[in-house]
Structure 1
Amino acid sequence: MRLLIISDTHVPKRARDLPEPVWREVDAADVVVHAGDWVEVALLDRLAARSKRLIGAYGNNDGPALRARLPEIARADLDGLRLAVVHETGPTAGRDARCARAFPDTDLLVFGHSHIPWDSVTTTGLRLLNPGSPTDKRRQPDHTYLTATVRSGRLSEVELHTIPPAHR
Protein backbone atom coordinates (compact mmCIF):
# COMPACT_ATOMS: atom_id res chain seq x y z
CA MET A 1 0.00 0.00 0.00
CA ARG A 2 1.57 3.27 -1.16
CA LEU A 3 1.05 6.38 0.98
CA LEU A 4 1.35 10.04 0.07
CA ILE A 5 1.77 12.17 3.19
CA ILE A 6 1.24 15.93 3.00
CA SER A 7 0.39 18.79 5.33
CA ASP A 8 0.20 22.56 5.47
CA THR A 9 -0.85 23.00 1.87
CA HIS A 10 -2.47 26.40 2.54
CA VAL A 11 -4.25 26.44 -0.84
CA PRO A 12 -4.99 29.10 -2.10
CA LYS A 13 -3.42 31.22 0.64
CA ARG A 14 0.24 30.27 -0.03
CA ALA A 15 -0.13 28.65 -3.46
CA ARG A 16 -2.82 28.55 -6.11
CA ASP A 17 -2.68 24.76 -6.25
CA LEU A 18 -0.64 21.76 -5.22
CA PRO A 19 2.53 21.33 -7.29
CA GLU A 20 2.24 18.89 -10.19
CA PRO A 21 4.62 16.32 -8.60
CA VAL A 22 2.22 16.10 -5.64
CA TRP A 23 -0.78 15.57 -7.94
CA ARG A 24 1.16 12.76 -9.68
CA GLU A 25 1.71 11.17 -6.27
CA VAL A 26 -2.00 11.53 -5.47
CA ASP A 27 -2.73 9.48 -8.59
CA ALA A 28 -0.14 6.83 -7.69
CA ALA A 29 -1.02 6.51 -3.99
CA ASP A 30 -3.41 4.01 -2.47
CA VAL A 31 -3.89 6.37 0.48
CA VAL A 32 -3.41 10.14 0.74
CA VAL A 33 -2.79 11.41 4.27
CA HIS A 34 -3.20 15.15 4.97
CA ALA A 35 -2.28 16.54 8.40
CA GLY A 36 -4.20 19.80 8.27
CA ASP A 37 -4.06 23.41 7.17
CA TRP A 38 -5.92 22.77 3.95
CA VAL A 39 -7.37 26.34 4.18
CA GLU A 40 -10.04 25.84 1.49
CA VAL A 41 -12.77 23.19 1.19
CA ALA A 42 -12.21 23.01 -2.57
CA LEU A 43 -8.85 21.29 -2.02
CA LEU A 44 -10.47 18.70 0.25
CA ASP A 45 -13.08 18.04 -2.44
CA ARG A 46 -10.49 17.76 -5.20
CA LEU A 47 -8.29 15.40 -3.20
CA ALA A 48 -11.28 13.29 -2.17
CA ALA A 49 -12.41 13.00 -5.80
CA ARG A 50 -8.97 12.18 -7.17
CA SER A 51 -7.54 9.89 -4.48
CA LYS A 52 -8.38 6.25 -3.90
CA ARG A 53 -8.59 6.88 -0.14
CA LEU A 54 -8.15 10.13 1.78
CA ILE A 55 -7.43 10.40 5.50
CA GLY A 56 -7.12 13.86 6.99
CA ALA A 57 -7.45 16.09 10.02
CA TYR A 58 -8.11 19.80 10.28
CA GLY A 59 -5.46 22.35 11.24
CA ASN A 60 -5.38 25.68 13.02
CA ASN A 61 -5.87 27.60 9.74
CA ASP A 62 -8.94 25.59 8.76
CA GLY A 63 -12.28 27.29 9.28
CA PRO A 64 -15.72 25.99 10.23
CA ALA A 65 -16.49 24.39 6.86
CA LEU A 66 -13.39 22.17 7.00
CA ARG A 67 -13.82 21.47 10.72
CA ALA A 68 -17.36 20.27 10.02
CA ARG A 69 -16.00 17.64 7.63
CA LEU A 70 -12.71 16.63 9.23
CA PRO A 71 -11.77 15.41 12.70
CA GLU A 72 -9.17 16.97 14.95
CA ILE A 73 -7.56 13.52 15.10
CA ALA A 74 -8.11 11.05 12.27
CA ARG A 75 -7.49 7.36 12.88
CA ALA A 76 -7.31 4.46 10.45
CA ASP A 77 -6.09 0.90 10.18
CA LEU A 78 -3.86 0.47 7.15
CA ASP A 79 -3.32 -3.23 6.61
CA GLY A 80 -2.73 -3.64 10.37
CA LEU A 81 -0.74 -0.40 10.83
CA ARG A 82 -2.52 1.82 13.37
CA LEU A 83 -2.40 5.37 12.00
CA ALA A 84 -3.32 8.64 13.70
CA VAL A 85 -3.23 12.04 12.00
CA VAL A 86 -3.22 15.34 13.88
CA HIS A 87 -2.12 18.83 12.97
CA GLU A 88 -0.26 20.01 16.09
CA THR A 89 1.93 18.09 18.53
CA GLY A 90 3.39 21.02 20.47
CA PRO A 91 7.00 22.11 20.83
CA THR A 92 9.92 20.07 19.51
CA ALA A 93 11.34 19.60 23.01
CA GLY A 94 9.67 16.59 24.56
CA ARG A 95 7.64 15.74 21.44
CA ASP A 96 8.55 12.06 21.31
CA ALA A 97 7.63 11.36 24.94
CA ARG A 98 4.50 13.54 24.82
CA CYS A 99 3.20 11.82 21.67
CA ALA A 100 4.01 8.35 22.98
CA ARG A 101 1.85 9.10 26.04
CA ALA A 102 -0.97 10.65 24.01
CA PHE A 103 -1.06 7.92 21.34
CA PRO A 104 -0.30 4.63 23.13
CA ASP A 105 -2.32 2.48 20.69
CA THR A 106 -0.79 3.97 17.53
CA ASP A 107 2.04 2.75 15.30
CA LEU A 108 2.36 5.87 13.11
CA LEU A 109 1.50 9.46 13.99
CA VAL A 110 1.48 11.93 11.09
CA PHE A 111 1.47 15.60 12.07
CA GLY A 112 2.06 19.02 10.54
CA HIS A 113 1.93 22.64 11.69
CA SER A 114 5.67 23.41 11.83
CA HIS A 115 6.33 23.00 8.07
CA ILE A 116 9.52 21.23 9.20
CA PRO A 117 10.09 17.63 8.06
CA TRP A 118 10.37 15.24 11.00
CA ASP A 119 11.03 11.52 11.31
CA SER A 120 11.60 9.91 14.68
CA VAL A 121 10.71 6.81 16.66
CA THR A 122 9.75 7.01 20.34
CA THR A 123 10.94 4.59 23.01
CA THR A 124 7.54 2.88 22.72
CA GLY A 125 8.03 2.30 18.98
CA LEU A 126 5.65 5.05 17.80
CA ARG A 127 6.87 6.49 14.49
CA LEU A 128 6.39 10.27 14.12
CA LEU A 129 6.34 11.80 10.64
CA ASN A 130 5.91 15.39 9.50
CA PRO A 131 6.08 15.88 5.72
CA GLY A 132 6.88 19.60 5.85
CA SER A 133 4.90 21.58 3.28
CA PRO A 134 4.71 21.26 -0.51
CA THR A 135 3.63 24.90 -0.86
CA ASP A 136 5.02 26.95 2.06
CA LYS A 137 8.58 26.08 3.07
CA ARG A 138 8.89 28.95 5.57
CA ARG A 139 12.49 28.83 6.81
CA GLN A 140 13.20 25.40 5.32
CA PRO A 141 15.43 24.99 2.27
CA ASP A 142 12.78 23.17 0.21
CA HIS A 143 9.09 22.46 -0.32
CA THR A 144 8.57 18.84 0.73
CA TYR A 145 6.24 15.85 1.05
CA LEU A 146 6.61 12.19 2.04
CA THR A 147 5.85 8.85 0.46
CA ALA A 148 5.90 5.50 2.23
CA THR A 149 4.82 1.90 1.89
CA VAL A 150 2.74 -0.23 4.25
CA ARG A 151 3.02 -4.01 4.02
CA SER A 152 1.46 -6.39 6.53
CA GLY A 153 1.13 -3.67 9.15
CA ARG A 154 4.69 -2.41 8.79
CA LEU A 155 5.84 0.95 7.48
CA SER A 156 8.78 0.99 5.07
CA GLU A 157 10.35 2.98 2.27
CA VAL A 158 9.68 6.34 3.93
CA GLU A 159 11.08 8.95 1.57
CA LEU A 160 11.19 12.73 1.88
CA HIS A 161 10.76 14.39 -1.52
CA THR A 162 11.71 17.93 -2.45
CA ILE A 163 9.83 19.84 -5.12
CA PRO A 164 12.05 21.31 -7.82
CA PRO A 165 11.78 25.10 -8.30
CA ALA A 166 10.30 24.62 -11.78
CA HIS A 167 7.26 22.89 -10.22
CA ARG A 168 6.54 25.30 -7.38
Structure 2
Amino acid sequence: MKVGVVSDTHLSSRAKGLPSVLMEEFSKVDMILHLGDWVSLEIYDLLAELAPVEGIAGNNDGAEIIRRLGERKIVTLEGVRIGMIHGHAPYSRKGTDGNALLAFEGEKVDCILFGHSHQPLLRQGGGIL
Protein backbone atom coordinates (compact mmCIF):
# COMPACT_ATOMS: atom_id res chain seq x y z
CA MET A 1 0.00 0.00 0.00
CA LYS A 2 1.31 3.42 -0.94
CA VAL A 3 0.22 6.24 1.37
CA GLY A 4 0.49 9.97 0.70
CA VAL A 5 0.90 12.15 3.78
CA VAL A 6 0.30 15.90 3.83
CA SER A 7 -0.41 18.61 6.36
CA ASP A 8 -0.81 22.35 6.66
CA THR A 9 -2.24 22.95 3.21
CA HIS A 10 -3.68 26.28 4.46
CA LEU A 11 -5.62 26.72 1.24
CA SER A 12 -7.56 29.96 1.30
CA SER A 13 -10.30 31.05 -1.07
CA ARG A 14 -7.69 33.13 -2.93
CA ALA A 15 -5.58 30.10 -3.85
CA LYS A 16 -5.95 28.38 -7.20
CA GLY A 17 -5.54 24.87 -5.81
CA LEU A 18 -2.95 22.51 -4.47
CA PRO A 19 0.50 22.36 -6.06
CA SER A 20 0.48 20.33 -9.28
CA VAL A 21 3.37 18.13 -8.12
CA LEU A 22 1.38 17.14 -5.02
CA MET A 23 -1.70 16.31 -7.09
CA GLU A 24 0.40 14.32 -9.57
CA GLU A 25 2.14 12.28 -6.87
CA PHE A 26 -1.05 11.70 -4.88
CA SER A 27 -2.74 10.34 -8.00
CA LYS A 28 -0.39 7.34 -7.54
CA VAL A 29 -1.30 6.50 -3.92
CA ASP A 30 -3.82 4.12 -2.37
CA MET A 31 -4.65 6.36 0.63
CA ILE A 32 -4.10 9.98 1.62
CA LEU A 33 -3.57 11.04 5.24
CA HIS A 34 -3.98 14.76 6.00
CA LEU A 35 -2.70 15.98 9.36
CA GLY A 36 -4.69 19.17 9.78
CA ASP A 37 -4.78 22.83 8.90
CA TRP A 38 -6.88 22.20 5.83
CA VAL A 39 -8.51 25.64 6.34
CA SER A 40 -11.20 24.62 3.83
CA LEU A 41 -13.05 21.34 3.23
CA GLU A 42 -12.51 21.98 -0.50
CA ILE A 43 -9.12 20.36 0.06
CA TYR A 44 -10.82 17.17 1.24
CA ASP A 45 -12.89 17.08 -1.94
CA LEU A 46 -9.85 17.71 -4.17
CA LEU A 47 -7.85 14.94 -2.51
CA ALA A 48 -10.78 12.51 -2.44
CA GLU A 49 -10.88 12.66 -6.24
CA LEU A 50 -7.43 11.02 -6.18
CA ALA A 51 -7.69 8.41 -3.40
CA PRO A 52 -9.55 7.67 -0.15
CA VAL A 53 -8.75 10.31 2.50
CA GLU A 54 -8.40 10.14 6.28
CA GLY A 55 -7.68 13.29 8.18
CA ILE A 56 -7.84 15.25 11.39
CA ALA A 57 -8.31 18.94 12.14
CA GLY A 58 -5.57 21.38 13.06
CA ASN A 59 -5.44 24.64 14.97
CA ASN A 60 -6.40 26.71 11.91
CA ASP A 61 -9.48 24.64 11.08
CA GLY A 62 -13.00 25.74 11.90
CA ALA A 63 -15.80 24.02 13.74
CA GLU A 64 -17.14 22.22 10.66
CA ILE A 65 -13.79 20.52 9.96
CA ILE A 66 -13.32 19.64 13.64
CA ARG A 67 -16.82 18.18 13.83
CA ARG A 68 -16.41 16.17 10.63
CA LEU A 69 -12.88 14.84 11.15
CA GLY A 70 -12.02 15.14 14.84
CA GLU A 71 -8.69 16.30 16.20
CA ARG A 72 -7.03 12.96 16.82
CA LYS A 73 -7.43 9.41 15.55
CA ILE A 74 -5.77 6.07 15.06
CA VAL A 75 -6.10 4.37 11.69
CA THR A 76 -4.96 0.86 10.88
CA LEU A 77 -3.51 0.26 7.43
CA GLU A 78 -2.38 -3.26 6.60
CA GLY A 79 -2.03 -4.04 10.30
CA VAL A 80 -0.01 -0.91 11.12
CA ARG A 81 -1.60 1.35 13.75
CA ILE A 82 -0.99 4.98 12.84
CA GLY A 83 -1.71 7.80 15.27
CA MET A 84 -2.74 11.04 13.57
CA ILE A 85 -2.57 14.40 15.38
CA HIS A 86 -1.88 17.93 14.19
CA GLY A 87 0.72 18.57 16.89
CA HIS A 88 -0.31 21.82 18.53
CA ALA A 89 -1.92 20.01 21.48
CA PRO A 90 -1.69 18.63 24.05
CA TYR A 91 1.02 21.14 24.94
CA SER A 92 4.08 19.39 26.37
CA ARG A 93 6.86 22.03 26.41
CA LYS A 94 8.78 19.47 24.32
CA GLY A 95 7.93 20.84 20.89
CA THR A 96 5.52 19.58 18.30
CA ASP A 97 6.99 16.08 18.31
CA GLY A 98 6.68 15.97 22.12
CA ASN A 99 3.04 17.03 21.82
CA ALA A 100 2.43 14.25 19.29
CA LEU A 101 4.02 11.62 21.54
CA LEU A 102 1.99 12.83 24.50
CA ALA A 103 -1.23 12.61 22.48
CA PHE A 104 -0.79 8.83 22.14
CA GLU A 105 0.89 8.09 25.46
CA GLY A 106 -0.15 4.69 26.77
CA GLU A 107 -1.72 3.61 23.47
CA LYS A 108 -0.41 0.95 21.11
CA VAL A 109 0.64 2.69 17.92
CA ASP A 110 3.36 1.75 15.46
CA CYS A 111 3.70 5.20 13.94
CA ILE A 112 2.71 8.77 14.87
CA LEU A 113 2.16 11.34 12.15
CA PHE A 114 1.85 15.05 12.86
CA GLY A 115 2.09 18.41 11.14
CA HIS A 116 1.94 21.93 12.61
CA SER A 117 5.69 22.62 12.71
CA HIS A 118 6.17 22.84 8.92
CA GLN A 119 9.44 20.96 9.52
CA PRO A 120 10.16 17.39 8.38
CA LEU A 121 11.11 14.87 11.06
CA LEU A 122 11.76 11.15 10.86
CA ARG A 123 12.73 9.39 14.06
CA GLN A 124 12.22 6.01 15.67
CA GLY A 125 12.20 5.33 19.38
CA GLY A 126 10.48 2.97 21.77
CA GLY A 127 9.14 0.94 18.86
CA ILE A 128 7.33 3.94 17.36
CA LEU A 129 8.19 5.55 14.03
TM-score w.r.t. the length of structure 2 is: 0.84
Distance 1:13 1:87, change over 3 A: farther
The residue that corresponds to 2:64 in the other structure is 65
Cα distance in 1, alignment partners of residues 97 and 57 from structure 2: 23
Counterpart residue identity of residue 5, structure 1: V
The residue that corresponds to 2:124 in the other structure is 121
Unmatched 5+ residue regions in structure 1?
128-168
Cα distance in 2, alignment partners of residues 97 and 27 from structure 1: 28
Whether the aligned pair in 1 keeps the contact of 2:87 and 2:100 (CA below 8 Å) is no
1:29-48 aligned at under 5 Å gives the runs 29-48=29-48
Quick one: higher RCO (CA 8 Å, sep 6+), 1 or 2? 1
Cα distance in 2, alignment partners of residues 107 and 118 from structure 1: 16
The residue that corresponds to 1:111 in the other structure is 114
User: Which structure's residues are more often strand, by fraction?
Assistant: 1
Cα distance in 1, alignment partners of residues 67 and 14 from structure 2: 23
Whether the aligned pair in 1 keeps the contact of 2:96 and 2:116 (CA below 8 Å) is no
Distance 1:60 1:96, change over 3 A: closer
Cα distance in 2, alignment partners of residues 19 and 56 from structure 1: 19
Unmatched 5+ residue regions in structure 2?
none
Whether the aligned pair in 2 keeps the contact of 1:4 and 1:33 (CA below 8 Å) is yes
Secondary structure of the corresponding residue to residue 102 of structure 1 = coil
Whether the aligned pair in 2 keeps the contact of 1:58 and 1:66 (CA below 8 Å) is yes
Counterpart residue identity of residue 37, structure 1: D
The residue that corresponds to 2:27 in the other structure is 27
Runs (4+) of structure 1 moved beyond 3 Å? 13-16, 96-101
Q: How many residues align?
A: 125
Query: Quick one: percent identity of the two aligned structures?
Result: 34
TM-score w.r.t. the length of structure 1 is: 0.66
Distance 1:102 1:65, change over 3 A: same
Deviation at 1:94, TM superposition (A): 7.5
Whether the aligned pair in 2 keeps the contact of 1:96 and 1:121 (CA below 8 Å) is no
Distance 1:100 1:62, change over 3 A: closer
CA displacement, residues 13-72 of structure 1 (integer Å, 9 cap, x when unaligned): 684321111101221001101100000011112212331x21110000000111121011
